[in-house]
Amino acid sequence: MKKRWMASLFALVLGGVSLLTGCKGNVIEKIDPNRTQIYVSVYDGGYGTDWLTQIKQQFENDNPKYQVIITPGQGADITEYSSSLNYNIYFTTTSPSFKQLVAKNLVADISDLYESPLKNSGETKPLKEKVLQYDLVKQAYSYPGKTGIYGLPYTSSVGGFVYDHGIFKENIENGWLWTATAADEEAVKAQGISCHVQGEYLIFDSATKRTNYTAGDIILRAGKDGVYGTYDDGQPETLAEWKILFTRINQTSTAVPVVYSESFGYEYTLPVLKAIFAQYEGLKNNEIFYTYTGEYNGRQITPQTGNLVYEMEGLQQALDFYEYSIVSKDNARIPAQSDHRGAQNDFLLWDQRSNADKKGAMLVEGIWWEYEARTMFDSLENTGNSNYKYGTRDYRYMLFPEIPGQKGIDGEGNGTVMAVQDSGTVLIANKGDQNFIDMCKLFVSYTLRDENLKQFTLSTGTPKPYKYSLSDEELAKMTKFQRSVWDMYQDSENIYILNTTLLDYTAPISFSTKLGSSRFTAYVNEEAGRGTYNYPVEMRVRNISKETWLEGMKWYARENWAGYYETSKPLYEVK
């Protein structure tokens, strides 16, 4: 018995060892000893690495002495490796550990990249004029006491309420969308759209510009941008209308207005809160909320007294809206399957689900969701639902309504804020050799060329936070949803893309402490749900009122502020 046991074990080991010597995986790209390697790590949270392949070819053709090796980041955050950056260039999510790497001199200064036009690209404008919100970016990627700029924006993807425009259109009779009326005919025609009146509706015929109508469509109200045929047509504009929409969905269908997933929903619903706050308080006050520096209602706020920002009126407003749209069990639903697919299914399988099953009319998700769910669309198509072929459904974002008394994005009450859910950063590791760093910078600059930015957007459907444009033919290659997202991003007059991560980066008290991740944390001191909670969704889970939550946030901030300030103080004192 013993012998057989030992023998089989031995054979197993031997077999394993021999297999291993012959097993090195399938080498896709060999390290070329005659060239210098640039190792690039790409965290592919929904964007993949395909978009970089072409850029790599381009770069290697131009610089034959270098080889670029692209590795998908495996989800492990750079934090874990903060002592040793293994790669030379990182395309990664933005996390506070980045700032720490800068503090330790592990990240290369790339400020010169911003100052001049991209090398050999034929472009004439310096990069700082190409990157969106440059002033914020510059501040965010700098570090107290250092002169450089240490990062570049990679992605800036918003989250919010997605709805299926097709299904809403089917419910026009039920009042899910606001339509244009015969009285609007002149205005519609003035915008280059020809149409005719049919009953109480205006019917679209043709247009001289790109619109999202096809002949025979009922023309909807222009939306907050005042332009017909754009991404926000037919949507509620005021808070009152928003509530009317919710009531109508509840009354005329078996669906619940909003659906979001448990495990991600906690994070995914935060942009709603942030956006409403910013929209109400205006961008200037919003900045104070994240940097704790400035004057609010005649009161000077400094990092030391930063918890005063919890007195801001906007917080109350944001919580009101959040309670109505996210917390309320009548208006929002969390499916039992707690991952993001659960919520996506409730929303996406609208036609496949029987009416007995709960559905969600609007999904709280980021702009990548359709791309992420593409296998589901493929499966639907394969099972005889050709109207669910990937890219054919007309998904759009439902803009947040105007809140009474809001300052808006122009300080005068106009415009919509969309808050970023996923913010990405490009950084170059500093390993001492300046010539090599320059080559890395050159490679990064390739990714920022117009043609490559376009390529990124076309292959991932995601806009990058830079100024570049897509032609109508290029836009036609994207899905309807991606097109509407693109239009929304381009409309800087009406839409402000709020990246709170970058704002956090500008304030040491935010990035060097836990404040950044516990900004909406509340300590609840009530019999029922005593405890400290990080996410406002817990109001729903534990039946906590918004008033209690607000008080809890104030309390928590007050209790912890001295500690936050103490930790970050040295960084404020650096000159």
Partner 1 sequence: MRRRPLTDRISRAAIVPMILTGLLAILLCISLLVPLIWCLYASFKDQVDYAISAFGWPTSWHPENYSNVFAKMLIRVLTKNGLSEFGLFDLLTHSIVYSTLSPLLGILFTMLMAYVISMYRNPFSKFLYGFGIVLMILPIVGNLPASMQINKALGRYDNMFLWILLSPAGCFSGMNFLLFYQLFRGVPKDYAEAARIDGAGHYRVMCTIYLPNAVSLAAVTYILSFLGVWNDWSTFVIWLPSYPNLAYGMYIFQYQASQFRATQPEILASFIIAMIPTSLLYLSMQKLIVQKLQIGGLKG
Partner 2 sequence: MKKDVTEQRKSVFRKWKESGKLASVGFQISIYAFPLTLFAIFWIGTNINSILLAFQDVAFDGTKTWAGFHNFVDFIREMASEDGTLLSTSFKNSIKMFLINLAICMPLYLLFSFYIFKKLFANRFIMIVIMVPAIVSEFIIAMVFKRFVGGALPSIAKSVFGLSGFPDLLTDPKYTFSTVIFYMIWTSFSTSLIIYPNAMRAIDPSLFESAQMDGAGWWTQFWKIILPLIYPTISTFLILGVSGLFLTAGPVMTFYMYGAYPEVYTMGYYFTVQTMTAVGESTYPFLAAGGLILTLVSCPLTFGTKFALDRFDPTRDMA
Q: Contact residues for partner 1 (CB under 8 A)?
A: 1-2, 5, 9, 12-13, 15-17, 19-20, 23-31, 39, 44, 46, 48, 69-72, 74-76, 80-84, 337, 341, 345, 349, 352-353, 357, 371-376, 379-380, 383, 385
Under 8 Å between Cβ of 47 and 462 = yes
Q: Is 477 in the site for partner 2 (CB under 8 A)?
A: no
Give the residue from 511, 457, 513 showing the smallest Cα distance to 483. Answer: 457
What's the CA gap between 99 and 462, in Å, rounded? 26
Taking the complex as a whole, the smallest distance from the CB of residue 143 to partner 2 amounts, in Å, to 9
Q: Is 525 in the site for partner 2 (CB under 8 A)?
A: yes
* Binding region for partner 2 (CB under 8 A) out of 425-433, 436-444, 461-469, 567-575: 567-575
**Which among partner 2, partner 1, none contacts residue 525 (Cβ within 5 to 8 A by kind)?**
partner 2
Under 8 Å between Cβ of 554 and 310 = yes
Half-sphere exposure of 195 (CA within 13 A, CB side): 31
Per-residue contact flags (x/-) with partner 2 for residues 47 to 86, judged by CB under 8 A: ----------------------------------------
What's the CA gap between 327 and 260, in Å, rounded? 11
Q: Which is nearer to partner 2, 99 or 221 (CB)?
A: 99
What's the CA gap between 151 and 441, in Å, rounded? 11
**Which among partner 2, partner 1, none contacts residue 190 (Cβ within 5 to 8 A by kind)?**
none
Under 8 Å between Cβ of 370 and 461 = yes
Instruction: Pick from 36, 197, 531, 558 the residue near partner 2 by CB under 8 A.
Output: 531
Which residue has 């909670």 as its token pair?
A: 533
One DSSP character per residue, 116-144 reads SPPTTS---S-HHHHBTTHHHHHHHT--T
Instruction: Pick from 6, 57, 62, 104 the residue near partner 2 by CB under 8 A.
Output: 104
Taking the complex as a whole, the smallest distance from the CB of residue 422 to partner 2 amounts, in Å, to 16
Q: Which is nearer to partner 2, 475 or 541 (CB)?
A: 541
What's the CA gap between 502 and 435, in Å, rounded? 29
Q: Please report which helix (H) or strand (E) contains residue 457, including its range.
A: helix 450-460
DSSP code of 429?
B
By three-state DSSP, how is residue 492 classified?
A: coil
Strand ranges in 74-208 using DSSP code E only, listed in sequence order = 89-93, 152-164, 193-198, 201-207
Q: Is 567 in the site for partner 2 (CB under 8 A)?
A: yes
Under 8 Å between Cβ of 208 and 188 = no
DSSP code of 307?
G
Q: Which is nearer to partner 1, 336 or 528 (CB)?
A: 336
One DSSP character per residue, 302-347 reads -GGGGGGGGG-HHHHHHHHHHIIIII-TTTEE--SS-SHHHHHHHH
Q: Is 514 in the site for partner 2 (CB under 8 A)?
A: yes
Q: Is 300 in the site for partner 2 (CB under 8 A)?
A: no
**Which among partner 2, partner 1, none contacts residue 408 (Cβ within 5 to 8 A by kind)?**
none
What's the CA gap between 280 and 402, in Å, rounded? 8
Q: Is 376 in the site for partner 2 (CB under 8 A)?
A: no
Q: Is 523 in the site for partner 2 (CB under 8 A)?
A: yes
**Which among partner 2, partner 1, none contacts residue 81 (Cβ within 5 to 8 A by kind)?**
partner 1
Q: Is 100 in the site for partner 2 (CB under 8 A)?
A: yes
Q: Which is nearer to partner 1, 383 or 386 (CB)?
A: 383
Q: Which is nearer to partner 2, 135 or 527 (CB)?
A: 527
Per-residue contact flags (x/-) with partner 2 for residues 228 to 267, judged by CB under 8 A: ----------------------------------xx--x-
Give the residue from 57, 93, 55, 88 showing the smallest Cα distance to 74. Answer: 93
Phi and psi, residue 280, nearest 5°: -75, -45
Footprint of partner 2 on this chain (CB under 8 A)? Answer: 96-97, 99-100, 103-104, 262-263, 266, 334, 336-338, 342, 508, 511-514, 516-517, 523, 525, 529-533, 541-542, 567-568, 570-571
